[in-house]
Chains A and B, each alone.
Chain A
Amino acid sequence: MKLTVHWLKEFVSFRGSPQKIAEALTMAGLEVESLVPLPAEGEGGNDWLIEISVTPNRGDCLGILGVAREIAALTGEHFNLPPTSPHAGDPTLKQVIDVKVMHPRLCPRYSARVVQSVRVAPSPSWMQSRLEACAIRSINNVVDVTNWVMLETGQPLHAFDLARLTSKRIVVRRAGAIKKFVTLDGIERQLAPEDLLICDGDAPTALAGIMGGEDSEVRTDTQSVLLESAHFDPLTIRRTAKRLGLHSEASHRFERGVDPEGTLYALDRAVFLLEKMAGGIPLKGVVDRRARQKGPKPILLRTEKVKGLLGIGLSPKETERILKSLGMKIQGRTKAGLKVMPPSFRRDLTREIDLIEELARLHSYDRIPSTLPLVQPGGGKVDAPLRWERKIRSFMVGEGLSEMVNLPFASSDMNRRFCGIWQGQRSPVAILNPLVQGDAEMRLSLIPGLAGNLGAHIAQKARGFRAFDLGKVFSLDPKGVPEERECLAGIIFGRRERKGLRVMEEPPLTLLDVKGLVEGILELAGVEQSTVWTIPDVPSCLHPGKAASLQFVDGSRMGYVGELHPNLCEELGLPSALIFELDIEGLVQYAPRQLTVRSLPRFPSVERDLSIVLEDGFPAQQIVSWIKEQFNHSLIEDVHVFDQYKGAPVPEGKKSLAYTISYRAKDRTLTDAEVNSLHRDLISRIGEVFGAQLRE
């Protein structure tokens, strides 16, 4: 809502600078968005343009009079209404025009007057410039007057060329079978049956409360004008305006509620101005079709409730002063409180709480004290999900990965390539009205975002890039209901960099480095023992030979690691990179709830290595599992692989694997002889079972 300081001063006298007024309005809830000086206009000094952001509940402040009333209430200054040309009983109007409202619920009031012998011409320049400052285009003196009065009162008006209303009969009705209508901007609008129309007999002549039609528009040859000042159902106006994408000054106001008691005043004010501006001769009579409606009920305002809700009691005197300054009537006083009747222009005031807000607002929020409530025990602790997130982040950062926060939108193409951690085939969640047509789906996986981050850094000639994203992914479950999962994904390209002197070049990172990262996460969650690495069922976005899936022991899917498929890298213009993605929600579910500490061993362990030659395709872990599960000797504490070697002297197609076995007894120090004998036994059994040769 735009208005000027001079205009405002016509209705309320106030001292103080425009800045002071702007400040007062802002602090009363009419937030001033901008205050700019207007070019000099001559007498009266410079005017200022105020732009107020009017909240949807304050339809009354979409007119300057409403803002002036607010200032009067705030300052206690006098408020005066501008002059009108009052209507009177006059039976001749009936012969000129008849009005029929078919749906009184959708049009609770329809008032109209007629002005004859107008001379349509451009408005005087002061009127034009003021309208234009308030973002209204000047058309001609008649149309300008209707807009002027709308800016003043907040009541939208419409002027019809009476001569072009051939039937002399205004009918307010739903569009029904009428399918099309050309609005005065020359655009043909497709109507819906429930749209409300103003018709000239059977022919539509205006989209009620939104925009007039081309046919009945006021033109230079117009002589008689029918002025419409009506009240329409906000929802009906809003639905039509929204559907047609036709947001007008009128519809904006009707949607937010116009004063049902204000139609006649606005009409009389417009007639007054038409007499002055266009030399019109008004008919005294008025049409005023009004639906029988229940009048507003008084509201009980309880003193205790005010005190309880605001945390401060207001004296009865202050309470009444505020209410009256806002135009409310005190209809009764009881021990408990007041019976209050709000004015008709404040359609937002229907409940006790609405009045309490007015008290707080006018008393000033600044004068309400600050207190600290008593907090009930129970909160105050970092909860499990947040604790996990923090743990995971600090681990990732320590490992040299930086956190990315990406928008969760994805193209269908990227969603097809990267299906994430979901079990089985999942469809993505589509957005009906995406911001960018290409990104019309919610991401199935965090990888497309990270791949984009990698691409952006490569474009800047980054030599390495290591990043992770801890965020939600989305899909439709088999029933078509959206499902969200918190995931962790990472991407790694290039070498891990060291700061400082270049002593030696770090080796390029491999699949085992990214597997190590994931193992780190599993260790953090205490779930290393309840997860299984598998090769089948790896996502198609991964290099088939450098990838693995992760499952929980119960078979549910937990995530994957691998190298991006070379074909995919080529298509996306990315370098070869390593990725992983994990279902963090699932992971946390499997994390042990309680930790019990084991006592430390009292006797030393003895370590022995063994090195064996096996087929190239042999999975190293098999020997570890076999030793732990099949051989299963109580003195063997731990087994792990520490080396893999291919090349001479190991024959082609074979590889050498080296393991360390730790032996320990709980109750004594093992002797060399004891360990050697056990180790020899182990080696010969491995030879038998796996056909492996011991390598010297």
Chain B
Amino acid sequence: MQESLETLREEILDRVAHCGSEPELDHLRVEYLGRKGRITLLLRGLREIPAEERPQAGEQLNRLRQLVEEQLEARLAELKAREKERILREERVDITLPGSRWERGQIHPLTLVMDEIIDVFLGMGFEIARGPDIEDDYHNFEALNMPKDHPARDMQDTFFVSQERVLRTHTSPVQIRVMESRKPPLQIIAPGAVYRHDDDATHSPMFHQVEGFMVDGHISFADLKGVLTHFIRRIFRAEIKVRFRPSFFPFTEPSAEIDIECMLCGGKGIPKDQQVCRVCRGSGWLEILGAGMIDPQVFRFVGYDPEKVSGFAFGMGVERIAMLKFGIEDIRLFFQNDIRFLRQFACL
């Protein structure tokens, strides 16, 4: 009996371990544990065994039954898990197929650059102001110290709407409008469209500027340098070389133009191959901003006392900054609005 039980146990364990499917497993269960199963029959046959051997044989048989039940359960769980895994494998999707989504639109690069500029100044505590595109002669020229017949008016070819009204040639009139209606301290930027009678690869009859100015009791040229250097480093990169050189604007004095080192030739101007750099035309520098201390005459026009306040003003072309940042050589690309051009800015 001892021996035959041992053989039976081996046989069952071997068959369970090799069983490959659920029905087969059910079959085994019936064969051993069913109503007429072999272990069931053996248990029933205990009655015929001598009474003194019965307890031991009973215990052995019960242990075997328990073991078989456990093994069947374990095998069943294993088979189920394997089946699930097989199904999941079959459901696998080819991840090399393209993803599916609606086509997005694209914000215009000029807006993106304008927003970047605005955000740098907002971060410095500036506030936004706006003015009309169709401006009167007084705000566009006169109050900015450009009287009628002043040669400085030649610097800006003007579109006229009437004798007294023009399409603003710069965003500087917003300076006047703000100072006319408010008192210092002021730190303002004025973004917007401006117009010049000009049309070629680097000039568009309409383009965008951001004007800015700061007026308070003791604002100095050193402050102008500090604010604009900070701005340029935020917009381009922290280590970029910047230079301030004297210039002339009727509404600022001292006036400055601000250059950054050329992004293409790295400020070399004429690199090793002796080809003059086509972006900076050999100078190594690129003009990026016009600025200066607000002229006392401008303060008088808006009713400020130039003995009590001082301030600086600056202006920049948004297209120019965008062209330099992204290596765009023709300004007209911005206004052709070709989707293939716009889409390139999706990652910006």
Contacts and interface: CB of A to CB of B under 8 A. Distances in A.
Contacts of B107: 393-394, 397, 402-403
B222 A29 contact: no
Contacts of B225: 365, 368-371
Contacts of A256: 151
B21 interface: no
Interface stretch (B78-86, B127-135, B173-181): B127-135
Interface in B124-155: 124-128, 130, 132-134, 149-152, 154-155
Interface stretch (A379-387, A571-579, A638-646): A379-387
A499 B103 CA distance: 6
Contact of A365 (B108, B214, B244): B244
Contact of B161 (A242, A462, A482): A482
Nearest to B97: A501
Nearest to A393: B107
A381 B105 contact: no
A442 B133 CA distance: 11
A472 B193 contact: yes
Interface string B234-263: 000000000111111010011111000000
A140 interface: no
Nearest to B155: A56
A376 B247 contact: no
Contacts of B219: 373
B171 interface: no
A311 interface: yes
B321 interface: no
A453 B247 contact: no
B221 A429 contact: no
B247 A310 contact: no
A408 B244 CA distance: 34
Nearest to B208: A405
A473 to B, nearest CB: 10
A309 B222 CA distance: 8
Interface residues of A, number: 95
A291 interface: no
B175 to A, nearest CB: 15
B216 A380 contact: no
Contacts of A308: 218, 220, 310
Contact of A372 (B155, B223, B244): B223
A373 B226 contact: yes
B281 interface: yes
A351 B296 contact: yes
Nearest to A452: B337
Give the residue among B214, B229, B248, B295 with the most A Cβ atoms within 10 A: B248
A403 B101 contact: no
A357 B206 CA distance: 32
Contacts, number: 258
The prevalent SS among residues of B at the interface is mixed
A498 B103 contact: yes
Contacts of A407: 204-206, 335
A400 B343 CA distance: 12
B245 A26 contact: yes
Interface in B152-197: 152, 154-155, 159-162, 165, 167, 185, 187-188, 193, 197
A409 B256 CA distance: 33
A400 B159 contact: no
A370 B222 contact: yes
B160 A379 contact: no
A57 interface: yes
A31 B130 contact: no
Given A397-B105, A399-B105, A432-B161, A472 B149 contact: no
A353 B295 CA distance: 8
Contact of A501 (B98, B103, B250): B98
Contact of A310 (B167, B197, B220, B338): B220
Given A27-B243, A309-B293, A373-B223, 16 more contacts: A26-B245, A308-B220, A309-B220, A365-B243, A365-B256, A370-B226, A375-B187, A385-B130, A402-B107, A404-B108, A407-B206, A435-B198, A465-B339, A497-B102, A498-B102, A501-B100
In the A-B complex, list the 8 residue pairs whose CB atoms are closest, starting with the nearest. A311-B222, A29-B246, A311-B220, A500-B100, A379-B127, A55-B248, A375-B125, A357-B254
Interface of A: 26-29, 31, 34-35, 55-58, 234-235, 238-239, 242, 255-256, 308-312, 351, 353-354, 356-357, 360-361, 365-366, 368-373, 375-383, 385-386, 390, 393-394, 396-409, 429-435, 442, 453, 456-457, 460, 462, 465-468, 471-472, 474, 482, 484, 496-501, 503
